[in-house]
Chains A and B, each alone.
Chain A
């Protein structure tokens, strides 16, 4: 077997990234230019870290940063397994556990069982188990594995979403169901896979299923009653998308009446996709939520001429009413399946000498977007991986610049499209450390060939589709961890991984970055240099974002949920045939060696010194 997959390698890569490690100096920290590093917004100050982990993304700003530092660079090599817990399921585990007080909450993939673990008991004994018993038919309609991305907590309630479209609040103390609201219909292809997100007295939830002819939406429910407060669709007339008098998009391309209808042929918007299955951020100062929508579907690109709004769009909405303040379509007329659902990390930073309130998005299309979160202006958009499918973002118009030779059409052969459909990064959330000013992005390095057509069959109907093949991008590795300086818009260091890094990241005040690999290594890096400082082999590949907390004993713990699966790992969790080029929409062939590297099985691992 080859030497361990990861070695610290400087990036020898595409033109734009003349990245060298900026040695041990914190990037941006009082360098000659006087450039200051990016900061957490005031509303997420880490000064009073209480050691809990109350939402999947840690805070409103989506930093995934913990102020705990008992585990740090000086002692992380002594990190050992403290306890483990089997979830009992073998599909892909993408959820991050929460820790509230002395209890850990953990939701599984379908059938979406919620466990409460008493951290005061030796080994973390089960306090209660809540079983929502979702409709088994939901498995048949879910697009990509049957994942669940986590829980939410508010005022003594734990809130989960089920694959069959229920949002459910249970008592954090007893596991008793408090309310249960059905938001969508599996019979029409809708499912829910995202983690609910709580803002004040509302819980926000969106749907999945863009491939099934679903019309995307985000819905706000009252946290006390489960009653629907508002719903905003991603396609259709302004009245459905909640675009009213307050709506002031920055770019002309996003201005105009009823663009959610007019940018589609005839009634195509009615089944136009734009589902909402990723991450939401919130800025309490402006009372705006930020989230992105999925790709347009189920139409092929040549069947839907136009920008296809508001698919692949970033929205800023009033948290109380859902009315949009601005929107920015990241990917007009998407043809590569680059969903716009990735996280928006809210930061304050100096840009061209001015302090700007920004949001930072490592986007599926391969660029890190730096956007003014007050008005939707794109300040910069630079590649964090190898990109040739587009030629950058025109900062005057906000438009992604297409590349003529990479335009796909059924029947046409197009080779070497980078990134492949899962993008430079998919849903797996990045982390930010205010100590280094860097964003830690766990991502892919995949390209694809679009190779003509083949016949297939579904629901008694023969159809014809492109044969998509994915394979490693330049360098031959499939995954990377990139430390990104949002001020300079450049990577500071990069490491390579054999498999796509599908786990997301955790940053801590111990100057550490934690992530997991699909072949089952829980790892820690030096946040400043990228040097690997700890690793531990767990039972199954890791595709869930790690978290950390202070236990009842006052000690710091780091938790990893292992259990390979998801789109990238379905080769193992669903035992796909890697000879079948259509399996997992072309992803299976790129992952054929994963079966030898790991096996399936959901298990929580908790580490401490």
Chain B
């Protein structure tokens, strides 16, 4: 009896040591090819933020890769294959959002040399310009600028670019930015982080300005708060992430700045004009 008890204690000890030496990794649900957010080489800002969170937790990141399309949350987070999605809107219903860690906006992207200085959907020049918009494809769903332009009767001067792009490319979402650079369109209305990143990679100087207004009535926001998302009921992880977001705010801000994410919640003295 006693020797068996001792063995059990010893095993328990060994197990504890093993856990202490190698804590469970932070299991992140992520798209393997969706820069600037993430890719399988860890080059996206969400990869960097995941590293930061894991470091704070004293562990490493392990990824579960899945294209971020319809069914993404179901096949990853909900299926229990991973525990956190690094970027979701704070109003997202498929996951429990943490506190927001950045706020960005849709932006108008134009060539600097065109000096268009576009900011408003109601700019009288807009109907005469060729405009690129990001397309989603779920029934009745579109990016907010696509809705806003249709609501203002602009359909003939619109070119659509699927946010999914060509998944065989290294930068699937990039085409809508290249289209501005090469003159295929005069202006593109693009989600801030995507625009900020690819503008920096463009050989032709481009500028991005947040669209106005920030909301179309009755309910069409162009500005979104972004959080991390965890599974329903996983309040323990949510609490830890909330604390880390608060504690590491400056480092997160620095990462977002590195990727040129246009922010509406912080004053970025380097923002382009």
Contacts and interface: CB of A to CB of B under 8 A. Distances in A.
B137 A461 contact: no
B173 interface: yes
A140 B141 CA distance: 19
B67 A453 contact: no
Interface string B89-130: 101111000000000000000000000000000000000000
B68 interface: yes
A468 interface: yes
Interface string B142-176: 11101101110001111110111011110011000
Contacts of B135: 213, 271, 298-299
B63 interface: no
A580 B142 contact: no
Given A211-B137, A305-B155, A460 B173 contact: yes
B136 interface: yes
B71 A462 contact: no
Contacts of B87: 457, 460
A140 B136 contact: no
Given A266-B159, A460-B193, A300 B150 contact: yes
Interface string A219-234: 0000000000000000
Interface in A154-190: 185-189
Given A460-B173, A461-B134, A461-B191, A466 B140 contact: yes
A576 B34 contact: no
A585 interface: yes
A410 B220 CA distance: 10
Nearest to B133: A303
Interface string B211-226: 0000000111100100
B269 interface: no
A402 interface: no
Given A213-B160, A303-B150, A303-B155, A576 B140 contact: no
B157 A266 contact: yes
Nearest to B91: A455
B74 interface: yes
Contacts of A211: 70, 137-139
Contacts of A140: 66-67, 69, 71-72, 75
B193 to A, nearest CB: 7
A303 B145 CA distance: 11
A298 B140 contact: no
A271 B93 contact: no
B146 A455 contact: no
Contact of A459 (B71, B149, B173): B173
Interface residues of A, number: 57
Interface in A339-394: none
Interface in A431-469: 450, 452-466, 468
A421 B166 contact: no
Given A137-B67, A213-B164, A465 B142 contact: yes
B37 interface: yes
B263 to A, nearest CB: 15
B194 interface: yes
B31 interface: yes
B40 interface: no
Contacts of A459: 31, 34, 67-69, 163-164, 172-173
B182 to A, nearest CB: 15
A256 interface: no
Nearest to A189: B164
A460 B142 contact: no
B89 A411 contact: no
A182 to B, nearest CB: 13
A380 B163 CA distance: 42
Contacts of A187: 166-169
A458 B173 contact: no
A109 interface: no
A186 B191 CA distance: 24
Among B68, B87, B140: residue with most chain A CB under 10 A: B140
B82 interface: no
B88 interface: yes
A574 B74 contact: yes
A459 B31 CA distance: 8
A300 B220 contact: no
A330 B37 CA distance: 42
Nearest to A188: B166
B141 A456 contact: yes
Contact of A298 (B37, B160, B166): B160
A574 B224 contact: no
Interface string A291-317: 000000111101111000000000000
Among B69, B144, B173: residue with most chain A CB under 10 A: B69
Given A455-B91, A460-B36, 13 more contacts: A141-B67, A141-B164, A188-B167, A189-B164, A266-B155, A268-B155, A271-B162, A300-B147, A303-B155, A411-B218, A459-B68, A464-B147, A465-B142
Can you list the 6 inter-chain pairs with the closest CB atoms, starting with the nearest? Answer: A465-B141, A298-B137, A140-B67, A187-B167, A466-B140, A213-B162
Interface of B: 31, 34, 36-37, 66-72, 74-75, 78, 87-89, 91-94, 134-144, 146-147, 149-151, 155-160, 162-164, 166-169, 172-173, 191, 193-194, 218-221, 224
13 contacts: A140-B66, A185-B166, A187-B167, A299-B135, A300-B142, A300-B146, A302-B150, A303-B142, A337-B139, A456-B89, A462-B144, A462-B224, A468-B140
